[in-house]
């Protein structure tokens, strides 16, 4: 796998949440799919994509998450680090907790989630390669869906560049018709990330720091912002409830870890 790894790219994996809808006090990312904690599947994909530069943001019962990951990777030659997010104040704040852990030689950072367990190495590699080939400053992985309700919409400018991500609550009636949504997965220049992450404000209803605001900041500064677009698939499905977990378990039982399109109800 070494030949497939993207040099000078680090991965930040967000894994700090409790996951209230999971119905237990276990850290969300330690819930298992076929006896494998979700965070381990994400770590495997990240390591096989970027190599040893991995920062995992932990929070709720973080020591349990750290112990689980370290049992597999602690004795190997991986530079897995853990950044602690004391209070869950949004995705922007989670990334802020991790930026100081990035190595000096890193050029780009891919941001992943510990509760998206079916994301595959080839997809991450294609995503980063697309970002590099377009010489973008920021790239978002967008997903075309039939039912976009509840998700942030990607606003494409001049058919080639992304100008904003508009959340459902803030979207106009026309914007709500857009079926291109934000997966939450980003590839960002380390230099810009280290600068822009401090510019994010919590001036929203939830009083949280949203990573999506980086798009608007970059667009105003005329940075090159792109979207890597994929079709709807279980590969991009985040686990937010026990029902989601069981759905993915059933999918794996029927299809293995191959990705396929979600059923359209």
CA 11, CA 188: separation in Å to the nearest integer? 10
Q: Contact 198/96 with Cβ under 8 angstroms? A: yes
- What does the DSSP assignment read for 22-63? GSSSS-GGG-EETTEEHHHHHHHHHHHHH-SEEEEEE-TTHH
- DSSP secondary structure, 187-225, as one string: EEEHHHHHHHTTT----STT----TTHHHHHHHHTT--E
> Any idea what the CATH number is for the domain that residue 189 is in?
3.90.550.10
pLDDT 10s digits, 2-48? 446 788 999 999 999 888 888 889 999 999 999 999 999 999 999 99
Write the pLDDT tens digit of every residue in 117-159.
Answer: 999 999 999 999 999 999 999 999 999 999 999 899 999 876 6
Let me know if residue 265 belongs to a domain.
no
Among residues 92, 228, 210, which one has the least CA distance to residue 162? 228
Q: Indicate whether 263 belongs to any domain.
A: no
- Per residue in 87-114, pLDDT (tens digit) is 989 999 999 999 999 999 999 999 999 9
Measured from the Cβ of residue 67, the count of other Cβ atoms closer than 10 Å reads 12
- Which pTM does this prediction carry? 0.92
Tell me, yes or no, whether 120 lies in a domain: yes
In a domain, 64, yes or no: yes
Q: What tokens does 254 get? A: 């029927």
> Count of domains in the chain?
1
Write out the catalytic residue numbers: 21
For residue 30, being part of any structural domain is answered with yes
**Does residue 262 lie within any of the structural domains?**
no
Q: Is residue 24 part of a domain?
A: yes
Q: Which domain holds residue 218?
A: 7-252
Determine the Cα–Cα distance for residues 49 and 3; give it in Å rounded to an integer.
10
pLDDT at 60: 93
**b/e map 96-128, b = 16+ CB within 10 Å:** bbbbebbeeebebbbbbbbbbbbbbbebbbebb
Residue 231 reports pLDDT greater than 70: yes
In a domain, residue 102? The reply is yes
Average pLDDT over residues 192-201: 96
What is the helix (H) or strand (E) element at residue 262, kind and residue range? none
């Amino acid at each position: 796998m070494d030949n497939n790894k993207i040099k000078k790219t680090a991965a930040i994996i967000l894994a700090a949440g409790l996951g209230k809808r999971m119905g237990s006090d276990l850290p969300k990312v330690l819930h298992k799919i076929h006896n494998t904690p979700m965070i381990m599947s994400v770590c495997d994909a990240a390591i096989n994509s970027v190599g040893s530069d991995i920062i995992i943001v932990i929070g709720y019962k973080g020591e349990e998450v750290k112990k689980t990951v370290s049992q597999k990777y602690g004795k190997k030659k991986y530079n897995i680090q853990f950044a602690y997010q004391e209070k869950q104040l949004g995705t922007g704040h989670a990334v802020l907790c991790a930026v100081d852990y990035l190595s000096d030689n890193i050029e780009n950072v891919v941001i992943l989630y510990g509760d998206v367990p079916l994301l595959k190495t080839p997809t991450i590699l294609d995503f980063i390669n697309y970002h590099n080939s377009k010489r973008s400053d920021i790239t978002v992985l967008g997903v075309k869906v039939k039912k976009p309700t509840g998700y942030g919409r990607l606003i494409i400018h001049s058919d080639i560049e992304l100008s904003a991500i508009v959340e459902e609550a803030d979207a106009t009636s026309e914007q709500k018709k857009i079926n291109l949504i934000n997966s939450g997965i980003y590839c960002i220049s380390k230099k810009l990330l280290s600068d822009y992450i401090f510019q994010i404000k919590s001036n929203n209803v939830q009083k949280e720091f949203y990573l999506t605001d980086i798009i608007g900041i970059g667009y105003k500064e005329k940075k090159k912002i792109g979207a890597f677009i994929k079709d709807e698939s279980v590969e991009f499905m985040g686990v937010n409830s026990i029902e989601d977990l069981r759905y993915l378990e059933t999918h794996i039982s029927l299809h293995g870890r191959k990705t396929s399109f979600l059923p359209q109800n």
